[in-house]
Structure 1
Amino acid sequence: MLVTPTTHGQQIEHELSSGWQCLRADVAAKSKDRKWMAPGAPIPGSMPAIVPGTVLTTLLHNGKVPDPFFGFNITRIPDIYESGRAMYTYWFVKDLEEKVSGNEHVFLRLRGVNYACEVYLNGHRVDEGRVEGMYLRHSFDITKFLSKNGRDRLAILVEPPYHVGRPNGGQGGDGTIARNVTNQYVAGWDWIQPIPDRNTGIWDKVMIEKVKGTDIEDVHIITHVVGRRSATDTAQAPATIDIHPTLYNPAATAISGFLSYHIDGTTMQMPVSLPPGRSTIVMPSCTMKHPRLWWPNGMGGQPLYGLNVQFINANGTPGDEERYRVGIREITTSWNTHTQSREIYVNGQRMFVKGTNRILSDAMLRFSPDRYDAEVRYHRDMNVNMIRVWGGGITERPEFYNACDRYGLLVFQDLWASGDCNGRWYDPTKKDDTVTRRTYPDDHSLWLASAADQIVMLRNHPSLALWCGGNEIRPPADILSTLRDSLLPALDGGRYFFEYSNHDSMSLHAHDGPYTIQPDTYFWQHRSWAFNSEVGSIGMGDITSLRRFMPEEHLVPPHYDADKKKWVADTMWKFHKYCSYDSAIEAYGHPDDAAQFARLAQLVNYNQYRALMEGIRSHMWDWYTGVMVWKTQNPWTALVGQMYDVYLDPNACLFGMRIGARPLHIMYDPIGRRIMVANDGHTDQMVTMSWGLSRGAKLGQEASIGRQDMVLVVPADTCVPALSIAAEVAEYERSGAFLSLGLKCADSTQDEENTYWLPDSRGSYRWLQDLMPAAMLMHVYAWTPGKGILELTIDMDPGGIAFFTHISLVDKKTKKRILPVFCDDNYFTMIGGRKTIKVAYTSQEGIEPVICIDGFNTGKRYVEIQNEVPKELRK
C-alpha cells in the first residue's frame, strides 16, 4: 500500500542572516540584570553584526578597523595574543518571530561557531553545557523556550579559541593554535599574516527549522556503479542507490508512519515505528536501469538527480521532508606497481589526476554560493579534475561541494592537522617540543566528534573523493585509529582514506615541491613524487591587482642588489609574502616600473604553469599517476602561488594551466625537441596535427618555414611523441622564434592552438621587444543580450603577430574591472587569421560593460558591445 500525504511536506526552514546586533561581552557584563535579553529590549552599546561572519568582519563593516587586506593595515588591528581574548569575545543577538502549533517542533541549527559559545532564548539557557569546536554543528530544540506571542530574542555568546597562539613568524605561529580544534593558518603562515581575531565568530549559517513530529536529520546516500563504463555509452548498465535516513523523534513515545523516497520517477515506501530519540533506517535499494552517470571534469558530464525523502504520519499527514541532489558514480583506487603510487578510477575508468590545492576562499570567512561557484568554475576552466582542501584550514562548506558537484571537480578533503603545528619536524619557533605537539589537540574526543559530524555533512556529494587525516602528518595515534578503523567505515565506507597528505599509500620515493620558480625545462626532466600532493611556483597578478591592496609609493619593482648579491623587494611586497621571480623577468628586459614588472611576470606565470602541467603529463603512467599544484588561490592579498587573487581576478597562471591541462592537448617537449600529444579521454582520437616556426623581424615581417600537417591516432589515456623538430628548432631559435602548434579532430570542441615563444641562444626573450605593433580588427557581440555572454571576434592580416594579448571586462564609465569574468582563452598570441573568445559574466545594474584589450604589442584599447550579431559570424 502506498500512502500519499494529504498535503505537501511540513518542513519549514530559513536562514537567520540579517538583523543581527552584537556587543562586547565585557560591555554587556556591566548590565548584570541582562534585561537586554528580553524581546524588543534596547541593547546598549551594540552595533550591527555580520552573520555568518567573524568579529573582524563585523568590526570592518562598522568602520571600527581598517581593511586588513590593504597595505600594512592588519598590523594596526590589535592582535588577540597581545590584547587578550576578552577583546574578541562578543554577544550576537537576533530577534525572531516564530509561532508553533500542534505537534510542531522548532530547531535552532548552528553550522559553525568559532570557538566556544553559550546559547540563550529569551534569557533561558538553551544548550546543556559549553558548546565548543570550530567545525562541530549543533542543533537545539527550542520549542519549549519560545514565547506564546511569537516574539523572541536569540542571544549567543561567542568566545575565541582558548589557545590563540603567539604569531612569531612561524607556520602557525608558536604552534599552540593547534591545541584547539580550529583552523591553524590564523596564527600566520608563509602566505598570510596572522588574523587578529583568529576567525572568532558565528562563521557559518544559523538556521531555524520547523517540523511536525519527526525530524529527518540526515540521509546517507550510497551509489554503486559496477564495471568499467564509458561516458559515450548511450545506454548504461544498471546502477544501484542505497538510502539510509536517520530520523529524530523528539516525543516521549513512539511515532508510527511511513518513510518514502522518490527519485527519477521511482517511489519506495516502507512502514516504520520510531522510538524516542534517533533511528537509522535501511530502506530498499533503488536500481536505476539506464542511469546518467556523473563524471569528473574532462571525462564526461555531471548530471544530478533530485531525491526527496519524506516521513508521513500514520494518519496521512506529512512530516519532515528533505531534498538532495544525487550524482551516480563510483570511485575506486588501486596501487600502480610501476610508478609505486595510488591511481584513481571513476566508474571503472582510470583518471590521471590533474589537481590543485586550495586553502579557503576568504581569510575573514566571507563565503557565499556565488563566490564558491565562481572559484570552482575557474578550476573547471583550468581543466583540472581534483581540488585538495588543505588541512590547516576548514572542512569546506556544502556550498563549495555543491559547486564541485556541478562542475565535476573531485575533492581530496584534509582534516585538521598540519605537520608545521603538529610536530612533524623540529621548529625553533614553536613553544612546545615535537613530542608534545604530536599530541595536539588537547581534546581528542572533540576532534573525533567534529570529524564524525563533518563526514556526515559531506558524504553524499559525488564530488567528495578522498579523505585525509591531515597535512603532512597523521593525527595522534588514538584519533587516527578511531577515525580509520571505526568512524570512516561506519559513516562513509566507500572512500579511500590517506593517513596524511603525502603518506606512503599515496606515493613512494622522490620528493614534493618545488615551491619556487624553476626553468621551464625542469618539469620535463626532474622527477618528483609519483602522486605529488604539492608542487607549485609563483603567481602574482598584474598592476590592477596590485593596486587593490598597495599604495602607489610601494609599487616599486624588485631589483638586484649587486653588493648583497641578492634580489631585494619593497617591504610591503615582503609583508604580502612576495615569492621572488629572480632573473626570470630580466630575460625579457629590465622593467622600468611596477606596471611593467607585473606585465612581464604574466609571461613567466603562463610559461611556468604550462610547463609544469605539460612536463608532468609527458610522463603520465610512467613517472606519475597524478599531481596537485600548490596552489590556486590565497584567502588574503598575498603575492605567492595563485591563479586568481582574493578579488577573483585571474592572472596568466590560470590560462597557462588551462592550456597545459586540456584533455586533448598538443605540446612541445623542450628537452627532446619534439611534439607530443596527450589524450585523457576514454577513446582513441584521430587528430590532424600542424606546426610552424616563425621569426618576427624588426619591421614585423615574418620568416617562416611554413606549417606542416600530419594525421595521428592518439590512444586513450596516454601521452605520445608525434614528431621530432629538433633540426628546425635549432635553426630558428638562435635568434628567438614563435613555435605554433595546432590540433584538429572530429570533435571540433577539442581543437586547439598552442603557441610558444622560444628564447634565443643566450636564453633571452628580448627579441620580443622588436615586434611591430599589431593591427587588429575587433568586434564584441552580445550573443544573448542581458544574459552576460559575449563573443569577441578578432581578425588579423596573415603576416601579423599579436603577442600575449590580455582581455578584461570593465565598466565603460569608471574603467574598473568587472569580476568575476570567465574567458575561454586569455593571454593569447595570434599569428594572423581569426580568433573568437567567449566571455561570460554576471550583469550588474547600472554598469555598462566594454572589453579592454591590452597586449604586449597591441596597446590598450576599448571595444564596445554590439547587440546584433552579423550573419556571417553566426554559427
Structure 2
Amino acid sequence: MPANTPCLMTQVRRGRFAKWLRWVGDNVGDCCTGVDNGTNSEGTTMRLLLDGNDWLLAPLLPHEFWWRQAWKEEWSPAGCPPWGEWIRACVPGDVIADTLDAGLIPHPYIDLNSLACEWLSERDWVYRKHFTAPDEWRGKHVRLRFDGVDYACEVYLNERLLGRHEGTFTPFEFDVSEHLRFEKPNCLTVLVEHKPPVDVVQGQIGWTSRARVWKSRFAYDWDWCTRLVPLGIWQSVALLATEGVWSEDVWVRPRVQGNVAQVEVSARLRSVPSALDGWNLQWRVEDPDGNLVVQRETPVQPGDTAPSEQVVTLEIPQPRLWYPNGMGEQPLYRLRLYLVRGERCSDEREVTFGIRTVRAVPNEGAPPDALPYTLEVNGRRVFVKGWNWTPHEQMTGRVRPERYERLLTLAKHAHCNLLRVWGGGLLEREQFYALCDRLGIMVWQEFPHSSSGIQNAPPEDAEYLQYIEAQARQMIPLRRNHTSLVIWCGGNELMDDRWVPLTDAHPALAKLKSLVQELDPDRIWLPTSASGPVEGASVELAGTGKMHDVHGPWVYLGAEEHYRFYNTIDPLYHSEFGVEGAANPQIFERFISPEYRFPPDATNRVWLHHGSWWIHREKLEALFGRIEDLETFIRASQWMQAEGLRYAIEANRRRKWRCSGVSPWQFNEPFPNTACTNVVDYLGQPKPAYWWARRAYAPMHISLQYERLTWQPGEKWQAEIWVHNSTTQAFHALWSVCLVALDGREVARLGGAVEVAPEGVVHAGHVECSLPQEEGVWVALVCLNDGRGGLLSCNEYLFSTAQPPMQPLLRAPRTTLRVWHRHQQAGIRNAGEAVALFVRFMPQEGQWLLCEDDYFCLMPGETRMVNVAGKGTVAIEAWNSDLHHIHL
C-alpha cells in the first residue's frame, strides 16, 4: 500500500463548497499551506511533517468513541450518523472548515448559517492519518509532537494509547520509538473531544470566576463575532528523530553593555538514560546579513537532574539595535545550535532574535501610585501608536500565512508600533510574532483571561492556580525569544465587584507575575488592562489623577459630546476605545443575501446576527437625516467612524508624555460583521477609518482641536492648531487653514509659522472666522509645509451650519475626476468646480491593494499622485463623482 493511502476507508466526501472557497480565495483561507507553527527555536536534523490534507475525519457523539473502539485500525464510520463516512481533513485545521470543505454544512459566515453549525462543537471528532516511517530511522529515538490541539484529545498510534492532553495553547509530545512500524504504514488516530461546556469557558456575558480552562473565549459569542466554537488539530504535527539526545528549549537573552551585546544562551537538553556523554554543543551567531560573528563549541555537562541546562555567553561587538516601527531598523540575528558527537548531529535549533533594551518609565506628571506606562526602547521614549488585535479567523485552524502578512503589513503601513493581543483570543501562532519582529511591531500579550459583564475576576482557588501555572509554564517559553514581545499582561478588564481593576494582589495575577519574573524576567509585566483606580475613561474624573490605563468609550458620542469628552479626559494610557462603522460593500456582497442587506436596524435579524451592538441607525440619521438605501448608510456610517476615531487619537496624542500612547479597539475581525469597531474587515480590506487613523499616527502631523461639528449660520467658528513630531529632528514649518464650501467657494484662509521640538507636540495657533449666513457643510483643509513648497502633513475636517448637520454631503454638487496610472502611481485630478469628497480606491473582489493614501478630499483644480501597490483593476470614485478605473 502506498505510504499515504488510507486503509479500510469508505467513500471520502469532497463537496460543492470547495468551489465557494476557491471563489473567496485568499480571504477565507485554504487548507494545508505549510504554515510553520513551531516556536522560533524549533528545528531538528530529522523531521517528518505530518501536516497535509490527507487526514480523515469523522464525528461521533460524546463517549461513542470508546464504545465503538474507534482507535482500532479496522474501524470506519460506516453506518455512524450523521454521515456514515470519512471526510477529508486538513492539519493544521479545524472541524468547521473541514465539514465546510466536504459540503456538509452551509457556509457559517453567510446570513444566519452559523446557527445551523453550532452542533459541530458538541461532537467528538476522530482524526486519522496513515504514514510510513523512514527506514533509516530504525534504532533512532523518535518523538511525536503536536504543536497545538484545541482543546482536549487522546492520541493513539497503531491502536496503542499514547496519552491524553488538554490545552489549546500548549504543545505536547510522546516517545514513539518502540511503537513505530517500518514494515507497513503506521495508523495515527486522534480523538478530539467536544468543546468544554460554557460552565468552564464563559462567553462575553457571564462570570469570569467560572472560566476555568484556557480556551479562546471569543468563539463562545462576542459582540464582534458569532457563537462558533472551533475544535481540531489547529497547529502542526511532526515526527522528530534524534540519536537519543535533543534540545527541548533554547532561550536567547541579549543585553547591551556599551558597544557590546552580551548574549546569554540557555539550552535545555533531554536525553534517554546515559545518552549525554560525549556530546558537544556548537553555538553559531550570524548577523542580519548572514555573516558569522561568533562561534563556540562546548562539551555537554550532564546535570544531576533532567532536563540538563547548558548556558553560554556569546559576545557580539558593535551590535545593530532593533527599534520599533518608525524609530529605526529591525535587524535580526540568527543563532544556530548543533548537538554533535564526531560527525554525527543529533539535533539542531535555530533562533532569530533582535538586540534591544526595553523598559517602562513613569509618565510625565503621573500620580505617585501609577504604574509606569511609557515604553523606552534603547534609551528613547516611545509614544505608542497601537491597535488591539483579535483573532482574524473564527475557524482558527484555517489560517493562511498570506493573511498574517497582509494584516501586519497594513498595521506597519498605518505607523503602528504595538499590537495588544487581547486576552479573550489566542496565544497567536509563531508566524505572527516572527512577522512582528521583522516589521517592528511591539507585542503586548495577554494571558487568556477576560471580563464577563456580570463578574470579572478569575478564580483564585488552589486547583485553578495549579492549572494556570502548568499552562503558563509552557506558554511563556514558546514566545520569549521574540524581540517584538515587550509586555506580558494578566488579562483583559479583570476587576473586582466594584469594577475596580485588579492588582497583583489577586492570587491568579500574582501567580502569573511570578512565572513571568521566573521565565521571562526581561519583559514588562502589567496585571490587567485597564489598570489603576478606575476602569473607564470619564469626563467627571478629569484632573483627579485617577485615569491611569483606561478603556472606553467604543462608540461615536455625538456632534458635540464626542469632542467635549476627548478634549477633557486625561488618561496616562488609553488602551481601548473605538468608534463603530459599517462594513465595506464587499462584505455585504459576499456574506449577506440581498433580501437582508437593508434596513440596518433591529427589525433585520441578519444585521442583528452580524453586529447587533454596532448598528445605531438612529445616531447616524441624527447626523445625516433619513437614510433609505445601503450605499448611503455605508458611506455615512464609515465617515462617522473615521471622524470619531481620528479625533480620539489626535486628542490623546496632544497630551503626549502625560499620555504615553493609545490602542484603539479594534484593528481586525474574525467574522464578517455588517457593522463593528474594526478598521480592517474580515477580507483584509481597510475601512475609511483605517486611513484617517493612519494620518493621525503619521510622524509629522497637523491636527485641529475643536468643540463641536455643528455651528449656526454667521457664528464665529474657532479651533486650535496642533503640530505633532515623532522624529528626532526639530523643524520649522508653516501651517495654513483654508475653509471651503462644498461648491468650491473659499470662505477664509489663515496661516502661521511654528517651531517643533524633536519628538514633541506644540500648540501652533488659534484660528477663527465668521461662517457664511447660510446652511451648509464647510471643509477645513489644514496643511503643514516646510516653507519651500514641500507638504509635510494635510488633514480635512468638516463642520456644518445645517440641520441635520451632515445631510448636505449626500446632495453635494457633482464634480469631475481625471484619473491615470503610471509606474505604480495613480494620478487623480479634480477637474470640476466642487470639492471632491472622500476619493477612494476600491480593489476588485479578492484583490489586495496597498495605497500611500486613501479617503481624501480634493479641492477644485487639485492633483494628487498616490503610490499604489497591487495588481488588477482598481475603481476610483468620490462621493460626488463618476466611477473610474485604472489597471495595475
Q: Does 1:736 align with 2:770?
A: no
Matches of 2:225 and 2:701, distance apart in 1: 35
Q: Does 1:723 align with 2:765?
A: yes
Q: Does 1:530 align with 2:572?
A: yes
Matches of 1:493 and 1:115, distance apart in 2: 29
The aligned counterpart of 1:333 is: 360
Equivalent residue letter for 2:779: F
User: More deviation in 91-100 or 761-770?
Assistant: 761-770
Secondary structure at the aligned position of 1:283 is classed as strand
The aligned counterpart of 2:215 is: 182
Secondary structure at the aligned position of 2:703 is classed as strand
Relative to structure 1, is the Cα distance of residues 733 and 649 closer, same or farther in structure 2, using a 3 angstrom cutoff?
A: farther
Matches of 2:361 and 2:511, distance apart in 1: 24
Matches of 1:478 and 1:242, distance apart in 2: 32
Secondary structure at the aligned position of 1:153 is classed as strand
Matches of 1:696 and 1:343, distance apart in 2: 42
How does 1:808-827 map onto structure 2 within 5 Å? 808-810=842-844, 817-827=845-855
Superposition deviation, residue 685 in structure 1: 3.0
The aligned counterpart of 1:258 is: 280
Superposition deviation, residue 393 in structure 1: 1.7
Residue 344 of structure 1 contacts residue 350 of structure 1 at CA under 8 Å; is this kept in 2? yes
Task: Kindly provide the CA deviation profile for residues 246-282 of structure 1, in whole angstroms up to 9, marking residues without a partner as x.
Answer: 2222344333222122222221322223468422211
Q: Does 1:497 align with 2:525?
A: yes
Superposition deviation, residue 645 in structure 1: 1.6
Matches of 1:589 and 1:505, distance apart in 2: 41
Superposition deviation, residue 240 in structure 1: 2.9
Task: Kindly provide the CA deviation profile for residues 435-484 of structure 1, in whole angstroms up to 9, marking residues without a partner as x.
Answer: xx634896443321211111100011111110011111259944433322
Superposition deviation, residue 617 in structure 1: 0.8
Q: Does 1:547 align with 2:569?
A: no
Q: Does 1:702 align with 2:745?
A: yes
Equivalent in 502, 510, 514 of residue 481 of structure 1:
510
Equivalent residue letter for 1:635: P
How does 1:743-762 map onto structure 2 within 5 Å? 743-745=784-786, 751-760=792-801
Task: Kindly provide the CA deviation profile for residues 722-744 of structure 1, in whole angstroms up to 9, marking residues without a partner as x.
Answer: 1221236x569974322112234
Equivalent residue letter for 1:327: G
Equivalent residue letter for 1:185: F
How does 1:84-95 map onto structure 2 within 5 Å? 87-95=122-130
The aligned counterpart of 1:712 is: 754
Relative to structure 1, is the Cα distance of residues 477 and 618 closer, same or farther in structure 2, using a 3 angstrom cutoff?
A: closer
Task: Kindly provide the CA deviation profile for residues 407-444 of structure 1, in whole angstroms up to 9, marking residues without a partner as x.
Answer: 2111111101122179327xxxxxxxxxxx63489644
Task: Kindly provide the CA deviation profile for residues 108-158 of structure 1, in whole angstroms up to 9, marking residues without a partner as x.
Answer: 22111122111111112223xx21122211022222211122621211111
Equivalent residue letter for 2:801: D
Matches of 1:836 and 1:15, distance apart in 2: 49
Q: Does 1:12 align with 2:47?
A: yes
Superposition deviation, residue 523 in structure 1: 5.1
Residue 296 of structure 1 contacts residue 409 of structure 1 at CA under 8 Å; is this kept in 2? yes
Matches of 1:33 and 1:462, distance apart in 2: 45
Secondary structure at the aligned position of 2:737 is classed as strand
Secondary structure at the aligned position of 2:867 is classed as strand
Matches of 1:754 and 1:153, distance apart in 2: 63
Relative to structure 1, is the Cα distance of residues 177 and 577 closer, same or farther in structure 2, using a 3 angstrom cutoff?
A: farther
Relative to structure 1, is the Cα distance of residues 455 and 770 closer, same or farther in structure 2, using a 3 angstrom cutoff?
A: same
Equivalent residue letter for 1:446: Y
Stretches of structure 2 lacking an aligned partner (at least 5 in a row): 1-42, 495-501, 536-544, 708-717
The aligned counterpart of 1:114 is: 150
Secondary structure at the aligned position of 1:480 is classed as helix
How does 1:641-680 map onto structure 2 within 5 Å? 641-671=677-707, 673-680=719-726
Superposition deviation, residue 332 in structure 1: 0.2
Equivalent residue letter for 1:304: L
The aligned counterpart of 1:509 is: 546
Relative to structure 1, is the Cα distance of residues 15 and 202 closer, same or farther in structure 2, using a 3 angstrom cutoff?
A: same
TM-score (normalised: structure 2): 0.83
Residue 177 of structure 1 contacts residue 184 of structure 1 at CA under 8 Å; is this kept in 2? no
Q: CA RMSD in A?
A: 3.2
Residue 541 of structure 1 contacts residue 644 of structure 1 at CA under 8 Å; is this kept in 2? no
The aligned counterpart of 1:292 is: 320
Residue 672 of structure 2 contacts residue 682 of structure 2 at CA under 8 Å; is this kept in 1? yes
Superposition deviation, residue 356 in structure 1: 1.5
How does 1:593-672 map onto structure 2 within 5 Å? 593-622=629-658, 624-638=659-673, 639-671=675-707
Relative to structure 1, is the Cα distance of residues 633 and 581 closer, same or farther in structure 2, using a 3 angstrom cutoff?
A: farther
Matches of 2:820 and 2:773, distance apart in 1: 34
The aligned counterpart of 1:779 is: 820
Secondary structure at the aligned position of 2:307 is classed as strand
Q: Does 1:132 align with 2:166?
A: yes
Task: Kindly provide the CA deviation profile for residues 603-645 of structure 1, in whole angstroms up to 9, marking residues without a partner as x.
Answer: 11221111111111112223x2222212122211222111122
The alignment covers a number of residue pairs equal to: 791
Relative to structure 1, is the Cα distance of residues 201 and 224 closer, same or farther in structure 2, using a 3 angstrom cutoff?
A: same
Matches of 2:637 and 2:49, distance apart in 1: 47
- Percent identity between the aligned chains? 25
Relative to structure 1, is the Cα distance of residues 576 and 610 closer, same or farther in structure 2, using a 3 angstrom cutoff?
A: same
Matches of 2:690 and 2:818, distance apart in 1: 26
The aligned counterpart of 1:428 is: none
Matches of 2:774 and 2:784, distance apart in 1: 23
The aligned counterpart of 1:805 is: 839
Relative to structure 1, is the Cα distance of residues 207 and 248 closer, same or farther in structure 2, using a 3 angstrom cutoff?
A: same
The aligned counterpart of 1:434 is: none
How does 1:438-477 map onto structure 2 within 5 Å? 438-439=459-460, 443-473=464-494, 477=506
Q: Does 1:346 align with 2:377?
A: yes
Matches of 1:141 and 1:70, distance apart in 2: 44
The aligned counterpart of 1:149 is: 183
Residue 357 of structure 1 contacts residue 630 of structure 1 at CA under 8 Å; is this kept in 2? yes
The aligned counterpart of 1:384 is: 416
Residue 355 of structure 1 contacts residue 628 of structure 1 at CA under 8 Å; is this kept in 2? yes
Equivalent residue letter for 2:513: R
The aligned counterpart of 2:3 is: none
Q: Does 1:75 align with 2:106?
A: no
Equivalent residue letter for 2:529: S
TM-score (normalised: structure 1): 0.84
Secondary structure at the aligned position of 1:50 is classed as strand
Residue 103 of structure 1 contacts residue 213 of structure 1 at CA under 8 Å; is this kept in 2? no
Superposition deviation, residue 711 in structure 1: 4.4
Secondary structure at the aligned position of 1:634 is classed as coil
Relative to structure 1, is the Cα distance of residues 421 and 667 closer, same or farther in structure 2, using a 3 angstrom cutoff?
A: closer
Matches of 1:723 and 1:464, distance apart in 2: 39
Residue 60 of structure 1 contacts residue 67 of structure 1 at CA under 8 Å; is this kept in 2? yes
How does 1:207-246 map onto structure 2 within 5 Å? 207-225=238-256, 237-246=259-268
Matches of 2:392 and 2:249, distance apart in 1: 27
Relative to structure 1, is the Cα distance of residues 798 and 855 closer, same or farther in structure 2, using a 3 angstrom cutoff?
A: closer
Superposition deviation, residue 684 in structure 1: 2.0
Matches of 2:510 and 2:788, distance apart in 1: 49
Superposition deviation, residue 666 in structure 1: 0.8
The aligned counterpart of 2:499 is: none
Relative to structure 1, is the Cα distance of residues 213 and 707 closer, same or farther in structure 2, using a 3 angstrom cutoff?
A: farther
Matches of 1:207 and 1:422, distance apart in 2: 42
Equivalent residue letter for 1:480: L
The aligned counterpart of 2:455 is: 423
Secondary structure at the aligned position of 1:149 is classed as coil
Task: Kindly provide the CA deviation profile for residues 289-343 of structure 1, in whole angstroms up to 9, marking residues without a partner as x.
Answer: 1x22211122222222222122221x23223221222111111012226134521
User: More deviation in 267-276 or 353-362?
Assistant: 267-276
